[in-house]
């Protein structure tokens, strides 16, 4: 019985694939026409028809995923309206957003708003779920809070990934791919019965590719001429054990290793500080893109400037065991899901993104983070004629560490001096690379005391030399910080559906969660780092100053006492802990007018745990006393209709949603550090529509969707933030559209596959996504806007009718669309907020006319194309 059940599950998946892509041969083998009824999902942790589930679910079969070229989560967004996936400083900083809600992934202290679940195992960070997904059975994208069944940190949705299970029927398949940018890769999969009760599956893949960026090395020592390369291998082994008719055990072990170079960025707007960059890199080039007249946006280019290499190493491994026991006497099934995972990441990076040797992270083991966790879930589910019930227990222990360090390059002190003396008139020699000491003398900032030089900065103007004892910035490692967080979480949950009548169902789910975290941290400056800031801070005390001197100007203090150069962090020890509880849940009601039309309404409350910002965070020049940020909650209301049309060959589902997030965890880069701030309110309202159509034309099908989103922050002021001093940099947010929230998002995938005669079969797939404009920065600065764009992928195949071989010609981003993933202000290169004391007439602190910042961007992938040969026996 148990083996038959497993085989029926496999058949169901195969039929679903045949339905979505129109594989006539497979459908005929099942002796059933392609039908909406064949689309099965596990959105409620039990197998159900998609049209019976009162949740917005975009389900994607293996064939649809293959046709669109999906290999990882980032590729998935072309098939999912209302979802964006971006990467920033590294591929480890990958973030998923649904309906405009998500968490920027640059800080491991933040957990995800969109949960990633692979074969029942929850990945607590989006980056931990990023990588080659291997052999996919299907992917389900669940929109809206899903915490009742999938746990905390799914306040915006879930990506539920189901891979292929072992089969008792032996087969071997392989794939070899070559493409532009020097791409080459391949995979091999073997499956079959090992005994009458045990089946296995082994998948191995390796892929390499040159970089998507050209690199100007400037001062060096970097010699690489490309960046954003690909070089990884992955393996996944499985055993399916069926010891009896009522027991099933699935064991999975996987390992992935990536050794790549990523991520440089390109300039999109170049400010006045470029003149200083060019002076420091001469004669080795301009150091970054030259500015245009009026310091406007520069033309699109994939040329990046980086004098330091960007190596990254990612190692990911895990074990999981899923055991199910059927109890036929009570029509119930007990499921146990156990997992252990260990993920680690190390990198080096050019922090200033220029050819000048200013600031970088060394790839010496002192920059990276890791996550290890152990999870256990038990679920007992059953059904009667009127009642489907489920109760469960989930527990996890997780460890997170982060190591962070900066290194001053040989140009850092000179660049700081040029910035500090930027306003010196040409009559006095103009900006100088050798006057940092004018600002750091503990005995005072020298000014004129009489005549025309009264109050003038004598040292800055070059009229007196800097004190030989005034500290400056020396090349070398500035600091090393270490953070370690341990967390424990336990939850009990239930999800139940009562059939009031044959047409009317009510679903109720509840989840009670206990969450605790403890953070330990050590922040240490190295060598004499901090002395320059310390000198400037010392001369703020009149008792320390010599006659004819004043304290270092406040504006200069901001540059001298940045988080990485502030002596107040030296030897700082951090120890914080908290515990929290939350009750979340959902209630849904659905009514089926007839077999083709169902309407439903739902309410759900989601919860995303509190945490700690593992970074140096300060207000002014004073380190924040606590790194804690509050938990995030969401209340979501939905009303939808699911329809099955044209003799059950088309589904058309439409849902209105209204979500309100409270204490929305915003991670934003303020030019010198990432800061987590809880925004009081974010509302996301709109409509989701999904469609699948198995057309009358043999082998032709269409799948698509539309999402309209109106995601806006509530109105708030300085007093609503944990640190009121951050309001000026966040003053564009109140009442504004959230970042990464296009008003309209449309997807479509047209697929054709059928036998051509003569022992051949052929087909094509055309997938596209259109997004209206949106802002790519958490602070909503206008230079980070992305215009509306469309990405199109295509694939044409020819092969044998029995699928023994298939040759595919494919292309991604066929229209060579030029677009930005994420925009950001370049560190130390100008300022967007010239005035943080007096607001503008509109209540913000931003004035484009006084914005001197240089802006960089991480770009979307260019056009790629290639050929893939697949074989199967």
Express each pLDDT in 804-860 by its tens digit.
999 999 999 999 999 999 999 999 999 999 888 899 999 999 999 999 999 999 999
Average pLDDT, the chain: 92
**CA–CA separation, 67 and 872 (whole Å):** 17
Report in angstroms the alpha-carbon separations of 399 from 33, 118, 371, 484, 488: 50, 20, 6, 7, 9
**CA–CA separation, 84 and 126 (whole Å):** 12
- What is the pLDDT, as a whole number, of residue 18? 35
Both structure tokens of 675: 């800061």
Both structure tokens of 332: 């119930």
- What is the pLDDT, as a whole number, of residue 90? 78
pLDDT tens digits, one per residue of 612-636? 999 999 988 999 999 999 999 999 9
Angle formed by the axes of helices 274-281 and 412-420, nearest 10°: 140
At which residue do the structure tokens 């997004």 appear? 771
Confidence of residue 21 (pLDDT cuts 50, 70, 90): very low
Give the pairing of strands 157-163 and 114-118: parallel
**Cβ–Cβ under 8 Å, residues 462 and 420:** no
**CA–CA separation, 96 and 870 (whole Å):** 31
- Tell me the percentage of the chain whose pLDDT exceeds 90: 83
Give the long-range contacts of residues 554-558, CB within 8 A, separation 24 or more: 556/420, 556/439, 557/533, 557/621, 558/621
**CA–CA separation, 650 and 694 (whole Å):** 6
Counting every residue written for the chain, the total comes to 873
Ranges assigned E (strand) in 40-143? 40-41, 48-49, 57-61, 83-87, 94-98, 101-102, 114-118, 121-123, 136-143
Least Cα distance to 63 among 792, 749, 819, 810 occurs for 749
pLDDT beyond 50 at 174: yes
Least Cα distance to 157 among 216, 99, 244 occurs for 99
pLDDT tens digits, one per residue of 342-369? 999 999 999 999 999 999 999 999 999 9
pLDDT beyond 70 at 697: yes
**CA–CA separation, 446 and 463 (whole Å):** 10
**CA–CA separation, 304 and 376 (whole Å):** 45
- What is the pLDDT, as a whole number, of residue 675? 84
**CA–CA separation, 161 and 236 (whole Å):** 15
- What is the pLDDT, as a whole number, of residue 17? 36
- Tell me the percentage of the chain whose pLDDT exceeds 70: 95
pLDDT tens digits, one per residue of 713-758? 999 999 999 889 899 999 999 999 999 999 999 999 999 999 999 9
**Cβ–Cβ under 8 Å, residues 632 and 155:** yes
- What is the pLDDT, as a whole number, of residue 20? 35
Both structure tokens of 346: 């190390």
Confidence of residue 559 (pLDDT cuts 50, 70, 90): very high
Give the pairing of strands 632-645 and 650-669: antiparallel
**Cβ–Cβ under 8 Å, residues 466 and 536:** no
pLDDT beyond 60 at 32: no
Q: Which helix (H) or strand (E) holds 269?
A: strand 266-269
**Cβ–Cβ under 8 Å, residues 298 and 291:** yes
Least Cα distance to 366 among 243, 522, 536, 509 occurs for 522
**Cβ–Cβ under 8 Å, residues 751 and 700:** yes
Q: Which residues pair with 809 in a beta bridge?
A: 796, 867
Least Cα distance to 407 among 448, 461, 438, 364 occurs for 364
**CA–CA separation, 195 and 237 (whole Å):** 16
DSSP track, 383-420: E-SSEEEEEEEEEEEEEEEEEEEEEE-TTHHHHHHHHH
Average pLDDT of 645-650?
Answer: 94
Give the pairing of strands 650-669 and 789-800: unpaired
- How far the first Cα of the chain sits from its last, in Å, is 28
């Amino acid at each position: 019985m148990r083996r038959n059940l497993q085989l029926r599950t496999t058949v169901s998946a195969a039929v679903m694939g045949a339905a979505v892509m129109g594989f006539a041969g497979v459908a005929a083998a099942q002796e059933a026409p392609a039908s909406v009824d064949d689309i099965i999902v596990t959105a409620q942790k039990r197998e159900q028809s998609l049209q019976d589930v009162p949740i917005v679910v975009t389900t994607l079969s293996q064939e649809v995923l293959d046709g669109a070229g999906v290999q990882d989560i980032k590729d998935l967004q072309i098939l999912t309206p209302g979802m964006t996936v971006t990467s920033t400083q590294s591929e480890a900083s990958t973030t998923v957003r649904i309906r405009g809600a998500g968490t920027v992934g640059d800080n491991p202290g933040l957990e995800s708003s969109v949960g990633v679940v692979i074969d029942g195992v929850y990945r607590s960070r989006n980056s931990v779920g990023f990588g080659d997904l291997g052999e996919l059975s299907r992917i389900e994208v669940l929109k809206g809070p899903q915490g009742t069944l999938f746990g905390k940190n799914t306040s915006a949705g879930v990506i539920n990934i189901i891979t292929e299970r072992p089969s008792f029927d032996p087969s071997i398949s392989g794939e070899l791919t070559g493409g532009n940018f020097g791409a080459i890769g391949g995979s091999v999969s073997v499956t079959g019965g090992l005994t009458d009760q045990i089946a296995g599956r082994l998948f191995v893949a390796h892929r390499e590719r040159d970089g998507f960026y050209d690199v100007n090395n400037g001062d060096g020592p970097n010699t690489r001429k490309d960046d954003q390369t690909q070089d990884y291998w992955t393996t996944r082994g499985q055993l399916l054990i069926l010891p009896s008719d009522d027991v099933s055990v699935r064991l999975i072990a996987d390992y992935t290793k990536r050794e790549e170079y990523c991520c440089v960025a390109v300039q999109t707007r170049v400010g006045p500080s470029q003149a200083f960059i060019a002076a420091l890199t001469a004669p080795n080039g301009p150091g970054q893109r030259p500015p245009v007249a009026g310091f406007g946006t520069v033309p699109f280019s994939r040329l990046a400037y980086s004098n330091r290499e960007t190596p990254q190493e990612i190692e990911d491994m895990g074990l999981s065991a899923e055991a199910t026991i059927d109890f036929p006497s009570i029509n119930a099934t007990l499921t146990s899901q156990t997992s252990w995972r260990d993920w680690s990441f190390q990198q080096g990076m050019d922090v200033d993104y220029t050819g000048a040797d200013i600031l970088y992270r060394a790839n010496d083991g002192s920059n990276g983070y890791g996550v290890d966790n152990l999870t256990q879930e038990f679920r007992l589910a059953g059904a009667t004629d009127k009642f489907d019930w489920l109760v469960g227990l989930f527990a996890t222990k997780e460890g997170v560490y982060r190591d962070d360090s900066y290194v001053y390059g040989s140009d850092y002190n000179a660049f700081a001096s040029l910035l500090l003396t930027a306003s010196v008139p040409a009559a006095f020699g103009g900006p100088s690379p050798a006057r940092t000491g004018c600002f750091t003398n503990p005995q005072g900032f020298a000014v004129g005391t009489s005549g025309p030089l009264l109050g003038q900065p004598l040292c800055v103007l070059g009229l007196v030399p800097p004190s030989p004892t005034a500290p400056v910035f020396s090349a070398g490692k500035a600091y090393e910080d270490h953070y370690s967080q341990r967390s424990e979480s336990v939850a009990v949950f239930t999800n139940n559906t009562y059939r009031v009548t044959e047409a009317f169902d009510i679903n109720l789910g509840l989840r009670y969660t206990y969450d605790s975290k403890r953070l330990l941290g050590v922040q240490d400056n190295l060598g004499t780092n901090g002395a320059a800031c310390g000198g400037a801070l010392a001369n703020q005390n009149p008792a320390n100053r010599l006659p004819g001197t004043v304290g270092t100007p406040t504006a200069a203090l901001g540059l001298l006492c940045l988080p990485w150069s502030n002596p107040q962090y030296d030897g700082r020890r951090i120890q914080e802990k908290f515990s929290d509880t939350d009750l979340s849940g959902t209630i849904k009601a659905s009514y089926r007018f007839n077999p083709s039309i169902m309407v439903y309404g739902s309410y759900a409350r989601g919860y995303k745990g509190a945490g700690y910002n593992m970074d140096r965070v300060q207000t002014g020049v004073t380190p924040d006393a606590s790194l804690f940020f509050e938990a995030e909650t969401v209340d979501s209301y939905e009303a939808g209709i699911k329809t099955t049309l044209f003799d059950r060959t088309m589904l058309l589902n439409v849902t209105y949603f209204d979500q309100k997030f409270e204490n929305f965890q915003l991670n934003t880069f303020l030019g010198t550090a990432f800061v987590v701030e809880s925004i009081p309110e974010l509302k996301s309202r709109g409509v989701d529509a999904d469609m699948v159509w198995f057309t009358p034309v043999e082998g032709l099908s269409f799948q698509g969707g539309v999402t309209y989103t109106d995601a806006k922050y509530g109105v708030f002021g300085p007093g609503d933030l944990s640190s009121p001093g951050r309001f000026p940099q966040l003053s564009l947010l109140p009442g504004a559209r959230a970042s990464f929230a296009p008003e309209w998002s449309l997807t479509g995938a047209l697929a054709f596959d059928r036998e051509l005669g003569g022992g051949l079969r052929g087909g094509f797939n055309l997938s596209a996504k259109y997004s209206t404009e949106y802002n790519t920065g958490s602070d909503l600065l206008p230079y980070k806007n992305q215009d509306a764009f469309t990405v199109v992928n295509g694939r044409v195949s020819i092969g044998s009718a029995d699928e023994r071989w298939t040759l595919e010609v494919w292309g991604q981003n066929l229209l060579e669309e030029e677009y930005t993933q994420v925009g950001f202000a370049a560190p130390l290169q100008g300022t967007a907020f010239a005035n943080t004391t007096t607001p503008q007439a509109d209540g913000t602190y931003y004035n484009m006319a006084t914005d001197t910042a240089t802006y960089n961007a991480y770009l979307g992938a260019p056009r790629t194309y290639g050929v893939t040969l697949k074989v199967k026996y």
